[in-house]
Copies of this chain bind each other. A is one copy, B any other.
Amino acid sequence: MLKQVLIAAVCGAVMLTAGILIGHYGISSGSSAPAWVKDVARDVDESLIEKFLSEVDNIQIQENLRELTKVPHMATTAGDERTVQLMLKRWQDPDTGLDQAWREEYMVYLSFPDPKNPNKVTVVSPSAAVLYTAREKEKLYGPDQDDPEVVQPYAAYAPAGHPQGKLVYANEGKPSDYQRLNQTLDLRGTIAITRYGGAGRAAKAINAAPYGVAGVLVYTDPLDINDGLMSDVNETYPHSWYLPPSGVERGSFTSRYGDLLTPYLAAKEETYRIPVENITGIPPIPIQPIGFEDAYALICELGGQPAPADWQGAFNCTYNFGGPGFKPTSAFNNSDVKLDIYNHEEVKNSSNVMGVIRGSVEPDRYVIYGNHRDSWVHGAIDPSSGTSVMLEVTRVLGRMVKQGKWRPRRSIIFGSWGAEEFGLIGSAEYTEQYFAKLSERTVAYINVDISVFANATLRASAIPSVQNVIFTAAKQVKAPGLDSTSVYDNWIRYANRTSAAHGTIPRVGFLTGAGSDYAAFVHYLGIASMDISYTYDRTKTNARIYPAYHTAYDTFDYAAKFIDPGFISHQAVARTAGNVLIRLADSLVLPLNCSDYAEILEMYLKNALHLYQDQLTAKNISMEPLKRAVAKFRSAATQLDQVIQGSDLANETPLKVRRINDQLMLLDRAFLDPLAFPEKYGYRHVIWASSGANLPTFPGLADSFANADLPELTGGWEKVHHQLSILSQAIEGAAHTLDDVI
């Protein structure tokens, strides 16, 4: 019996094993899982993120910055080409590079001063004697400022010309400023001196021209940039981060983004270009920026009545309106101010440098990470602090790819944009050229331009759906210099708000303007975007921006000594942005949260009802469709969130995950209306478009409401109603995309 049992047992065991083997391997067709089944279900790998965070190196970032800022690299100069080569070399490196990297060239319309005929600002006596000449170049405090490639301060796109007239002080050059001044003075033929702030650069000249102003000066008041400090003997750079008296903010004086001659078309050699005289949004009269040293010499000599209290700056004199002109007691009495501006425009070849890591599972989904490469001078902070961070992110990720340790689920595209300083040109042309492809496939855009304004706290502006992934990432990164505090916990101390869903959370800003290369991605393409940096402790400074911004003092020395000694804030930004990037690229379900979007829409709606409902009701315009649209958006978002949370998505068909991801990815596309704002170039996003009203509510509604009763407009209230319908339909359309798909 034992034998029988043994036979049976052995036989049974053999047969069982054979059966298992047959069953497992033999019944192949339709039953054993193809290799890709695991791949398509793979989620983000937290240990990989740990590895990434640990490998991001502050010294590498420091050396990137040192290399990037060796020479000035204004767009299309030899220094710019040097950075193109550097980016290509890094991204094509066999050990730490990307899958591919290449350049993309555009022929773009730029504006430069004439090195042989520098722009001049002089005080000229009635007998034509030159009584005073403003500096042509910034003062030398080190070898960087001595580089012959340091471009003279100028206002890009300001016309050449030689206006001469009595000086007046026009505060910030806002419409209200010129209006106020015009009540006191005849502005015809005058030269207006203005300070940075309050209005866009070009606006200071555009607002002046209707009053007959002949030319404009602009400077940075120490009140606005230096917390009042003025002396280079001990107070300003190289003694601190503050702007030296001769420092001048350069800039692009255009209100539009993208190449000015090729609206909505990529600026290739044979592309149609509009006639130069059709360009709008640039200064109609000459304008020139000067240092506060020179502004002091002019403003404190002005005659006429004292300007209002809120026009006064930090100079130790009363800011008068001007007689017009200087006061009788001044050595400049009866003298004019003369501008000799020799700017010229040129179509030049500007490059983006592009690099990619091909996605393994969904190569047709893109996460784009970008920053511009061009600077005004050495651009250590703007933009090279961001480029140094980007190069460190690509080094760490590139090495993992080259070592075969990682390949993202989705493709990652890196963009090193050209000619941003002239108007976000490289990124805008890129989006024009690849409009369809990028619209269809881009999951998100991460912009890290100036990565460190200051070393106090993280700052993020973003489309609401990406708020959460920034938070997740920031919680995993240590705050620089604070080993036991996360970037997130540090952030929440500096800027927070109360969310109905999340309680107290860091305050994330909105991307309503065109301050950096995210503009085309948000406003033209409707892509979930974010702009990330480290920034100020506002209890410690009121500076408009870091003081060396766009000057010859924005150098490696400045960055290393005063902005981020040890480059640990750079490192924190690299870790945070890189973490966000990996999560967007690798997560099974995209970390985009539509309920967070609903919360912001509800806030905008609340503000809109508060601001407009009474008057709209009186005009017989109902806000009910808008209310219904926001409510529908909320309920669709809640439902989609429930589907996500209620599903075991790793075990469902990958097409279900893709479906949900497409809903999340394409959400912002639904807010685009290319005809909503015909007068605003490049703004199609009905939630985030720029707005003159500048209120935390829907821009088209706010602007049309602000203008509804202007006497020069007819049908103003019809326009409000029209904007309300455009907006309601867009929000409802977005809600439809979140609804169950059929």
Which residues of chain A from 3 to 50 have a CB within 8 Å of any chain B CB?
3-4, 7-8, 11-27, 30-34, 36-40
Bitwise, A649-685 to B at CB < 8 A (1) or not (0) is: 0011111001100110010011001110000000000
- A623: nearest chain-B partner, CB-CB: B270
Neighbouring B residues of A654 by C-beta, 8 Å: 40, 653-655
> At the interface with chain B, which of A59-67, A392-400, A415-423, A721-729?
A721-729
- Is A359 interfacial (CB-CB < 8 Å)? yes
Shortest A313–chain B CB gap in Å is: 44
Shortest A59–chain B CB gap in Å is: 32
A11-B12, A436-B733, A742-B411 known; A270+B625 contact, CB < 8 A: yes
Neighbouring B residues of A436 by C-beta, 8 Å: 666, 669-670, 733-734, 736-737
Bitwise, A273-302 to B at CB < 8 A (1) or not (0) is: 001000000000000000000000000000
**Contact B437 A737, beta carbon cutoff 8 Å:** yes
**Contact B622 A741, beta carbon cutoff 8 Å:** no
- Is A614 interfacial (CB-CB < 8 Å)? no
**Chain A residues within 8 Å of chain B by Cβ, number:** 91
Shortest A527–chain B CB gap in Å is: 14
- Is A356 interfacial (CB-CB < 8 Å)? yes
Of the listed residues A15, A33, A265, the one surrounded by the most CB atoms of chain B closer than 10 A to its CB is: A15
- Is A362 interfacial (CB-CB < 8 Å)? yes
**Contact B729 A411, beta carbon cutoff 8 Å:** no
Neighbouring B residues of A39 by C-beta, 8 Å: 653
**Contact A272 B669, beta carbon cutoff 8 Å:** no
- Is A634 interfacial (CB-CB < 8 Å)? no
Neighbouring B residues of A653 by C-beta, 8 Å: 34, 36, 39-40, 361, 654
Shortest A705–chain B CB gap in Å is: 14
A15-B15, A359-B742, A361-B655 known; A435+B733 contact, CB < 8 A: yes
A15-B12, A38-B30, A736-B437 known; A662+B725 contact, CB < 8 A: no
- Is A468 interfacial (CB-CB < 8 Å)? no
Shortest A514–chain B CB gap in Å is: 19
Partner of A362, one of B17, B40, B659, B663: B659
**Contact A31 B32, beta carbon cutoff 8 Å:** yes
Neighbouring B residues of A271 by C-beta, 8 Å: 625, 725, 729
- Is A179 interfacial (CB-CB < 8 Å)? no
- Is A147 interfacial (CB-CB < 8 Å)? no
Which residues of chain A from 634 to 653 have a CB within 8 Å of any chain B CB?
651-653
- Is A489 interfacial (CB-CB < 8 Å)? no
Shortest A268–chain B CB gap in Å is: 7
- Is A703 interfacial (CB-CB < 8 Å)? no
Q: Provide the bound-state CA to CA distance between A741 and B33, in Å.
A: 27
Shortest A22–chain B CB gap in Å is: 5
**Contact A655 B652, beta carbon cutoff 8 Å:** no
Q: Provide the bound-state CA to CA distance between A23 and B24, in Å.
A: 4
Shortest A671–chain B CB gap in Å is: 8
Neighbouring B residues of A434 by C-beta, 8 Å: 733, 736
Partner of A19, one of B15, B30, B651, B722: B15
A32-B31, A722-B272 known; A737+B440 contact, CB < 8 A: yes
Neighbouring B residues of A270 by C-beta, 8 Å: 622, 624-625, 725
Of the listed residues A3, A26, A39, A741, the one surrounded by the most CB atoms of chain B closer than 10 A to its CB is: A741
- Is A135 interfacial (CB-CB < 8 Å)? no
Neighbouring B residues of A722 by C-beta, 8 Å: 272
- Is A232 interfacial (CB-CB < 8 Å)? no
Bitwise, A407-450 to B at CB < 8 A (1) or not (0) is: 00001010000000000000000001111110011000000000
- Is A195 interfacial (CB-CB < 8 Å)? no
Partner of A30, one of B33, B441, B625: B33
Which residues of chain A from 585 to 628 have a CB within 8 Å of any chain B CB?
622, 624-625
11 inter-chain pairs at a CB distance below 8 angstroms, sorted by A residue, are: A4-B4, A12-B12, A30-B38, A31-B33, A32-B32, A264-B673, A433-B733, A436-B669, A436-B733, A440-B666, A440-B737
